[in-house]
């Protein structure tokens, strides 16, 4: 992948010139241009030229890599996967197609789609020994703790796809992770409710198979509702990838050391778990349940605005989106479709969510800070209606995001310029001092 150095009209390279007023030295830093979105200032020579690091905690203004997978325009509320808008993919595509698109860069033709789906289907079973890992957990363990452990353990089973320098092994590992995450997630749920694990079925589609393994039981046939399966598939699409978010950056950093893909995805799952990130969908539902009634909304809006209260409106705000998260719009529509299909006329949680959104979006605090609903705001309401416990919400996010993580990991490994990630720091600690024997300490 090659960035292009920005050139001015007369052909000279465009640069940003820094003047170090400690020395009067001028440093010209090249500007690199991608295919769209903000240009970047190439600072790779900065430390050598100035003896200074850049300083950007939380990476609010830092591009950690170049990538061709996903593009977000936060001001316009645009999300593209390989150039295709998320609302078009959610409306017209399916999760298997989106997986192929993220991995390979193009939508599959009919033959490629059939082959890809067949490959994924054939990898949905897990090694039978893997089921033993679940027995080591308490039944009430948080399913995300189980996911961290079991997905990390995949490294111990699939040695024939851990050589990251072999393109074939990279692709098999990618297929295995996409295929096995639904099985592992469904098993985490089954274990938590004390029901037997259900084996995947090769005659079912991806989302349908996951719902079957989650809610089916061995004692009787289980027919998945096609409307719910379609909604599940759409929810997977909405969570598939999202540029260099915290968990994707975790996967990239872990992978930059040469760690195997299974271990890297386990690292991504751990990062996603946080309530500021993928754990927000679980936190949103808990917040809506705490609010209980529409008339208590102002109390919580005031708490969210109170600097002395660390309460935040979960499912609101985003580091990149300073407009409505396009995924939240699709999610809200899907929520209404699922509730209608399930005959849920008025869901009090949805009523609270819709009213909370209306009040927040008319409040100067949220308008000034450009805080809008994000992907997590409505997802929990749908998942609860389908029958998932709150503790499974982030597990489903991890299931869907695995294709994004592994596509970003693969892009990084295949980048000839790839090197281990090793950020520096602004040191604020003690300067050198001599050791004091314990008998001489105060």
Residues making contact with ligand SDX (CB under 6 A)? 58, 242, 245, 276-278, 280, 304, 312-320, 369, 371, 374-376
Annotated active-site residue 73? The verdict is no
Q: Which is nearer to ligand SDX, 263 or 320 (CB)?
A: 320
Give the span between the Cα atoms of 402 and 420, in whole angstroms.
22
Q: Which is nearer to ligand SDX, 212 or 397 (CB)?
A: 397
Shortest spacing between CB 367 and ligand SDX, in angstroms = 12
Map 299-362 to HEC letters. HHHHHHHCCCCCCCCCCECCCCCCCCCHHHHHHHHHHHHHHHHCCCCCCHHHHHHHHHHHHHCC
CB 228 within 8 A of CB 110: no
Catalytic residue, chosen from 241, 325, 347, 376, is 376
Nearer to ligand SDX, 401 or 410 (CB): 401
Smallest distance, ligand SDX to C-beta of residue 351, A: 20
If phi over 0 gives left and psi between -120 and 50 gives alpha, with beta otherwise, what is residue 245? beta
- Shortest Cβ contact with ligand SDX: which residue? 317
Cβ atoms within 10 Å of 194's Cβ, excluding its own = 7
Residue 280 CB, nearest approach to ligand SDX (Å) = 3
Q: DSSP assignment of 150-164, as one string?
A: HHHHGGGT-GGG--T
11: left (phi over 0), alpha (psi -120 to 50) or beta: left
Distances (CA, A) of 12 to 6, 29, 42: 9, 13, 16
Q: What is the bridge-based pairing of β-strands 25-33 and 4-5?
A: antiparallel
CA separation for the pair 213, 202 (Å, rounded): 12
Is the Cβ of residue 146 or residue 320 nearer to ligand SDX in the bound state? 320
Q: Is the distance from CB of 394 to CB of 144 less than 8 angstroms?
A: yes
Least distance from ligand SDX to the Cβ atom of residue 335, Å:
16
Element housing 5 (H / E): strand 4-5
Toward ligand SDX, which CB reaches closer, 24 or 58?
Answer: 58
Cβ 384 to ligand SDX shortest distance, Å: 17
**Residue 294's closest CA among 377, 352, 358, 357?**
352
Q: 3-class SS at 103? A: helix
Q: Do 257 and 277 form a contact (C-beta atoms < 8 A)?
A: no
Residue 41, beta-bridge partner list: 31
Q: Active-site residue among 175, 239, 318, 325?
A: 318
Closer residue to ligand SDX, CB minimum distance, 55 or 435: 55
- Is residue 376 part of the annotated active site? The answer reads yes
- Asked if residue 160 lies in contact with residue 103, where contact means CB atoms within 8 angstroms, the answer is no
Q: How far is the CB of 381 from ligand SDX (least distance, A)?
A: 14
Q: How many helices (H) and strands (E) does the chain have?
A: 18, 7
If the CB atoms of residues 357 and 376 are measured against ligand SDX, the closer one turns out to be 376
| Min CB(177)–ligand SDX separation in Å | 17
Catalytic residues: 318, 376
């Amino acid at each position: 992948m090659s960035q292009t150095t920005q050139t001015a009209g007369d052909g000279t390279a465009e640069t940003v010139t820094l003047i170090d007023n400690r020395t009067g030295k001028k440093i010209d830093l090249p500007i690199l241009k991608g295919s769209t979105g903000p240009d970047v200032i190439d600072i790779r020579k900065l430390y050598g030229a100035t003896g200074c690091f850049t300083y950007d905690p939380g990476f609010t203004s830092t591009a950690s890599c170049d990538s061709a997978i996903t593009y977000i325009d936060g001001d316009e509320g645009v999300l593209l996967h390989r150039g295709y808008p998320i609302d078009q993919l959610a409306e017209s595509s399916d999760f298997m197609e989106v997986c192929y698109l993220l991995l390979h860069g193009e939508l599959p033709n009919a033959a490629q789609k059939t082959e890809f789906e067949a490959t994924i289907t054939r990898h949905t079973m897990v090694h039978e020994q893997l089921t033993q890992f679940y027995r080591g957990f308490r039944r009430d363990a948080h399913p995300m703790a189980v996911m961290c452990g079991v997905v990390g353990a995949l490294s111990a089973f699939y040695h024939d796809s851990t050589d990251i320098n072999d393109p074939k092994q990279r692709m098999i590992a990618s297929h295995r992770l996409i295929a096995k995450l639904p099985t592992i997630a469904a098993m985490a749920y089954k274990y938590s409710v004390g029901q037997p694990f259900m084996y995947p079925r090769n005659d079912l589609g991806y989302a349908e198979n996951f719902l079957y393994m989650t809610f089916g039981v061995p004692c009787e046939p289980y027919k998945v509702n096609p409307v719910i399966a379609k909604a599940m598939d759409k929810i997977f699409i909405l969570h598939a990838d999202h540029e260099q978010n915290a968990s994707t950056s975790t996967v990239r950093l872990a992978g930059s050391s040469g760690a195997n893909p299974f271990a890297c995805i386990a690292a991504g799952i751990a990062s996603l778990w946080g309530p500021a990130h993928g754990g927000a969908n679980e936190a949103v539902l808990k917040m809506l349940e705490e609010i209980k009634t529409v008339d208590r909304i102002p109390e919580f809006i005031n708490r969210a605005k109170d600097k002395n209260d660390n309460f935040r409106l979960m499912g609101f705000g985003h580091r990149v989106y300073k407009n409505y998260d396009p995924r939240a719009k699709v999610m809200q529509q899907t929520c209404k479709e699922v509730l209608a299909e399930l005959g849920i006329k008025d869901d009090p949680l949805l009523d609270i969510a819709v009213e909370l959104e209306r009040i927040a979006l008319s409040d100067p605090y949220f308008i000034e800070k450009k805080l809008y609903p994000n992907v997590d705001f409505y997802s929990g309401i749908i998942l609860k209606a389908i029958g998932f416990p709150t503790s499974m919400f982030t597990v489903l996010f991890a299931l869907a995001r695995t294709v994004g993580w592994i596509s970003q990991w693969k892009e990084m490994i295949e980048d000839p310029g790839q090197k281990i990630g090793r950020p520096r720091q602004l040191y604020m600690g003690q300067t050198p001092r001599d050791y004091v024997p314990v008998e001489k300490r105060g």
